[in-house]
Amino acid sequence: MIKKQIDMERSKIVAAALLVVTLLWGCQDFLDRDIESSFTEDEVFVNYTRMSQAGYGVYSFLFYRIGYDRIDNAMLASACDEADHADVNSDIHRFNTGFWNAQSVPEDYWDDFYQGIRRANLFLENSADYRTILYRDTLDANNKNTYHYQVRDIAWLRAEARFLRSFYYFELLKRYGGVPLVEKSTEDGDDLKGLKRKSFDECVTFIESEINAVLPGLKDTWVGFEDEKWRGRVTKSAALALKSRLLLYAASPLHNPDHNLDKWKKAAQAAYEVIALNRFALHSDYKGLFRLGNGADGNIEVIFALQGWARNDFEKRNYPIGYDQGGQGSTCPSQNLVDAYEMKATGAAIHEPGSGYDPENPYAGRDPRLAMSVLTNNTAFKGRPIEAWVGGLDGFGKPRGTTTGYYIRKYVDEGLNLTQNTSSIHTWILFRYAEILLNYAEAMNEAFGPEAKGGYPLSAKAAVDLVRSRPGVAMPILPPGLSQEEMRDRIKRERRVELAFEEHRFFDVRRWKIAEETENMPLMAMKITKNEEGQFNYLVVKAEDRKFYEKMYFYPIPETEILKSGGNLVQNEGW
């Protein structure tokens, strides 16, 4: 009986204890958990550090969409008549076979650049009140200097973000034509579905006005500032250079079918604004120019460059196949391009009578930029001559070897030891002075004629001659008295040679509306054989046929985008 009572008492205690424990557990804020390593949106735009980091994030859409390994490891050069990509598996070949459409474009950056635009918008919107935010954060008389420093820097960053947004819009523009303009970040699905494309000219006007608006807020140069640690950031010159390129495109036949001379005049004016800065000149080492590392904007010729990182993947792909670990499917410059390099002595194209060209010794006496841009047979590279002949170490026809008889030299760091995995920083120049001079020459020629000055100190011819006679190249200047037509062709050839592989040709043949001609020509190669005596025999052969249809002057907008918009977004013609 007693035992039972004790048991009963104990039962009550146990039961009570269980109940109490239950209540205690239940009372805790047991489900309140959070990720402490990330910020929620209201924790970002609260101080200088985080706000500026949000600004740096806007830059990152430059990576991978321009430069070394763009489309399935290929350079954009391999999507036009500059080169062929040796790896047959790469998606880039679809540009050349013509097998691309609105469902699948080898280079589909529609989404990417709008992401960059949204990131800029988010930064601009959330930092609009930056003075108040920074004031609150540095609220202390002693911090006055800090406050001023931070306000100045965020103001720069905001201007840079607006530049980058314009840059991204221009990247869309040159591919798709007019696009919808999204100036504010939005999450409203209906608004977004209602977006319509602006005309090409409306987009140009928008970008131009953006550039004009940010010019006063951009820094002149980052060189010599705070131990050079900000080199690579956007400058006033970069914005002017973008404007020059933008207005040149806008004046070009593809976008200016009526040949409106005012557009050419505006383009000339924009290019001249960069020239008039008197900040830039041509670098003495054409070959070394493309191997400048980060902070290349300290160079006399470089206006704005995509900063890079230490890497050797570009060399692994582009060293000739015969070099250790090289040749993983590379950029093979075309005979079409090689033929564009003139004869140094005469300044004539190779096929012109009296040019001095020797088909048995095709690389002798050529424009020096050929040897600096293209690795040709039997030229020294890393301590031995290139063996591009059939059966040679780097031979034509070897799997993953060259398909054209050439390898690329521009951009390639010859000094890397791939077996030891050494690497070097690879910077990609986005704007350089030679391009501005050629932009100027092209616009001047169209607006005023080959040798007219139109009120500027420099004629079209004079600008081209500056490029031709650049130090270390010293090609003969153009003969006087060229017609506007002849001058146009010379400028096109000059651009092709001077700016080879720099992602100009692909777009130039479009805006000139000559792609139906140039991109429908077969891509040619040099088949080199070596005879018993060790002499080379050069034979130009076809590497592959290429296809370009009229609709391809513009990319198709992704088909799903058209469908999502419910008809508000209109597809480019022909797709």
Interface positions, 129-148, toward another protein (CB under 8 A): none
Whichever of 235 and 252 has its CB closer to another protein, that residue is 235
- Is the backbone of residue 454 left (phi > 0), alpha (psi -120 to 50) or beta? left
With CB under 8 A as the contact rule, the residue among 209, 220, 293, 574 that binds another protein is: 293
With CB under 8 A as the contact rule, the residue among 66, 215, 371, 425 that binds another protein is: 425
384 scored as a contact of another protein (CB under 8 A): no
Q: What does 303-359 look like in DSSP terms, one character per residue?
A: EEEE---EE-HHHHHHS-TTSTT--SS-EEE-HHHHTTS-BTTT---TTSTTS---T
Interface positions, 229-258, toward another protein (CB under 8 A): 229-233
Which of 553, 500, 495, 548 has its CA nearest to residue 245?
Answer: 495
Q: Which stretch binds another protein (CB under 8 A): 58-66, 445-453, 484-492, 511-519?
A: 58-66
50 scored as a contact of another protein (CB under 8 A): yes
CA gap 160, 233 in Å, rounded: 8
Which of 65, 58, 39 has its CA nearest to residue 503?
Answer: 65
25 scored as a contact of another protein (CB under 8 A): yes
CA gap 85, 544 in Å, rounded: 11
**Structure-block tokens of residue 575:** 């797709």
Q: Which stretch binds another protein (CB under 8 A): 2-10, 140-148, 253-261, 362-370?
A: 2-10
With CB under 8 A as the contact rule, the residue among 117, 154, 370, 528 that binds another protein is: 117
184 scored as a contact of another protein (CB under 8 A): no
69 scored as a contact of another protein (CB under 8 A): no
CA gap 96, 88 in Å, rounded: 12
CA gap 147, 132 in Å, rounded: 10
> By rule CB under 8 A, what count of residues binds another protein?
99
225 scored as a contact of another protein (CB under 8 A): no
Q: Where are the beta strands (DSSP E) in 344-502?
A: 374-375, 380-381, 384-385, 407-408, 424-425, 428-432
422 scored as a contact of another protein (CB under 8 A): no
522 scored as a contact of another protein (CB under 8 A): no
33 scored as a contact of another protein (CB under 8 A): yes
Q: Are strands 331-333 and 384-385 parallel, antiparallel or unpaired?
A: unpaired
97 scored as a contact of another protein (CB under 8 A): yes
Q: How far is the CB of 53 from another protein (least distance, A)?
A: 4
- Phi then psi for 302, rounded to 5 degrees? -85, 125
CA gap 176, 187 in Å, rounded: 24
Q: Which stretch binds another protein (CB under 8 A): 33-41, 204-212, 251-259, 516-524?
A: 33-41
361 scored as a contact of another protein (CB under 8 A): no
66 scored as a contact of another protein (CB under 8 A): no
56 scored as a contact of another protein (CB under 8 A): yes
Whichever of 62 and 437 has its CB closer to another protein, that residue is 62
7 scored as a contact of another protein (CB under 8 A): yes
Residues 6+ apart with CB under 8 A from 331: 74, 75, 77, 78, 83, 84, 85, 86, 317, 318, 407, 408, 501
Q: Which stretch binds another protein (CB under 8 A): 202-210, 256-264, 335-343, 397-405?
A: 397-405
Beta carbons within 10 angstroms of residue 415's beta carbon: 10
118 scored as a contact of another protein (CB under 8 A): yes
